[in-house]
Amino acid sequence: MRFPDFFRDVPRLTVCDPLARFLGAADDGVLEYGYEDAVKLAGHSCPTVASAYRLTALALAALYPGDLPERGGVRVAFRNGFEDGVTGVIANVVTLLTGAAHEGGFKGIGGRHVRRGLQQFTAELPLSLRFTRSDTGAAVDAEADLSRVPADPEMSGLMARCVAGAADADEQRRFTDLWQDRVRRILIGHGDDPEVFRIVPAT
């Protein structure tokens, strides 16, 4: 399995999952995720998957300064409905990294480690998402503005030819290179850019 080289340069996320510790799935419940895990979950690498991965990592860092985030210890609310646009894709990446799931999630063991019902949709929020710690109630609002990292001007024409099956091998290769270059710019060139990834304390 070979991913684009820049995947290795994307900051990884380390969390502590009490359920993984309880069931012996990982030493001390510590789990590490990379962008490639989000790609394998979604089946593709795109700006939506990339921004969901990075936004969630930044939100968790803000909620757990200096500590490992607790997977399963966060509730996540979405301003949009689950079936609106790419919200479902974002929600799945959020579930991967936080453990917070909607109604199909894990029911728990003896009332503990419950993951279902930790996602809420069509919530009244100032930004796209809100991450809330279940233990302290601390919360941050979060949003990604991908318009700050525009696609290459060639992209739209190349994509249309690829979708129509009219592109030759060079055009197809050029399209995929430009597509992943935008993902790279989002995750690495702008991974800590507050104009792209906005994280603010919830009020």
pLDDT of 37: 98
Binned at pLDDT 50, 70 and 90, residue 87 comes out as very high
CA–CA separation, 149 and 175 (whole Å) = 17
Q: For 135-168, how does the pLDDT look when each residue is reduced to its tens digit (9 = 90+)?
A: 999 999 999 999 999 999 999 999 999 999 999 9
| Mean per-residue pLDDT of the chain | 95
In tens, the pLDDT along 11-41 reads 999 999 999 999 999 989 999 999 999 999 9
pLDDT of residue 106: 86
pLDDT classification of 116: cutoffs 50, 70, 90? very high
Which pLDDT value is given to residue 104?
84
Predicted local distance difference test score (pLDDT) of residue 1: 75
Residue 130, both tokens: 């809100």
CATH number of 5-200: 3.30.1330.130
pLDDT of residue 112: 85
Q: Are strands 74-78 and 119-120 parallel, antiparallel or unpaired?
A: parallel
For the question of whether the overall pTM of this predicted structure is more than 0.85, the answer is yes
**Each residue's pLDDT tens digit, 44-63:** 999 999 999 999 999 999 99
Percent of the chain scored above 70 by pLDDT?
A: 100
Over residues 108-134, mean pLDDT: 93
The single-letter code of the amino acid at 138 is A
**pLDDT score at 203:** 84
Tokens of 61: 């860092």
Which pLDDT score, from 0 to 100, does residue 111 have? Answer: 83
Which pLDDT value is given to residue 107? 86
Question: Concatenated DSSP letters for 84-99?
Answer: STTHHHHHHHHHHHH-
Q: Are 133 and 73 in contact (CB under 8 A)?
A: yes
What whole-number distance in Å separates Cα of residue 98 and Cα of residue 153? 35
The arrangement of strands across the sheet holding 139-144 comes to 119-120, 74-78, 129-133, 139-144, 197-201
Radius of gyration of the CA atoms of the chain, in A: 18
